[in-house]
Structure 1
């Protein structure tokens, strides 16, 4: 089984988000955090989390990038338990059963995004469209990957 894992290449997440996720945390898109939010009323850092953040399941901070990683059954269940408790404590889920079902749904959605090879980097763009929130996920090319097709070649005269 695969799940998203927070990754950090520099310290920018610690400056742009209200709270940065720790590298190595399991992650979900976390769009539910903004379900009732008015993006115009969010702080600058909260707007950044809305626009580009994945929610870490340890600190419940935000990460700009995630990587596809393998997860074992116990780690999966631990992630479900952590998100369940977060939904109860921070979002007032009516009971543990409802919170656990929502946590599994969110984590299973994140798993569905992991149809890429291990270590594939993903980014997220989130925006308001009509009456709802829309997400777009993008594979981020690894540093050094060729981004363009070679269309010409320089050869010596002769």
Structure 2
């Protein structure tokens, strides 16, 4: 079975504490969390809520938000734990009728994140940008390859095919 990749919250400075109402904890696993905004309209997009909407990934422990996540190898048990966390969240916060009913939604959210991380080297940084369009929330992604990040702790080994995947976003 091939390796699984997900992303963990990462902070370079204190800015997330100031821009997000509820910042994620460094190192917690993250998903896009776009579902939180599915019923939002322009009127909801003010202050810190706007920032979470525009650029925030969702941590699956605190359900806080973070600007940068780093691609990290995940173990199957971790993927399962993240899925269970989300299921619980959907029941407790979103009123899903049961964990069983929430599971496919949680799995979809985790699968989407794994798919996003799958093509990227560990320690690649990801950012998300969301906007409201007529058809709902549009998400696009930027990838910052480890060697572009210019941060010492990201001095990971470069690969031979460094020139192929640039920062192309795609939306759902």
1:93 deviates by 0.7
Partner-residue secondary structure (3-state), 2:92: helix
Q: TM-score, normalised by structure 2?
A: 0.81
In the alignment, the residues of structure 2 paired with residue 39 and residue 89 of structure 1 have an alpha-carbon distance, to the nearest angstrom, of 26
Paired position in structure 2 for 1:150 = none
Stretches (4+) displaced over 6 A: none
- How many angstroms apart in 1 are the aligned matches of 2:15 and 2:21? 12
1:153 counterpart residue number: none
Between 122-131 and 55-64, the greater mean CA deviation after superposition: 122-131
Match of 1:142 in 2: 149
Aligned CA RMSD, in angstroms, stands at: 1.4
Within 1, Cα distance between the matches of 2:135 and 2:93? 24
Moved more, 49-58 or 123-132: 123-132
Find the partner of 1:78 among 78, 81, 94. Answer: 81
Q: 2:25 aligns with which of 5, 22, 26?
A: 22
The number of equivalent residue pairs is 145
Structure 2 match to 1:122: 126
1:3 is matched with: 6
Whole-angstrom distance in 2 between the partners of 1:8 and 1:15: 12
Which residue number in structure 2 is paired with residue 102 of structure 1?
A: 105
The CA distance in 2 between the partners of 1:51 and 1:41, in whole Å, is: 12
Query: Where do residues 5-84 of structure 1 align in structure 2 (5 Å cutoff)?
Result: 5-84=8-87
**Structure 1 gap segments, 5+ residues each:** 146-158
The 8 Å contact of residues 39 and 47 in structure 1, kept in 2 or not, is answered as no
Residue 137 of structure 2: aligned partner: 133
Q: Which has the larger radius of gyration?
A: 1
Distance in 1 of aligned mates of 2:99 and 2:143? 35
Distance 2:109 2:87 in 1: 10
1:17-66 CA-partner distances (Å, limit 9, x unpaired): 11000011110110000001223224400100000000000100000000
TM-score (norm 1): 0.88
CA separation in 1, counterparts of 2:61 and 2:44? 26
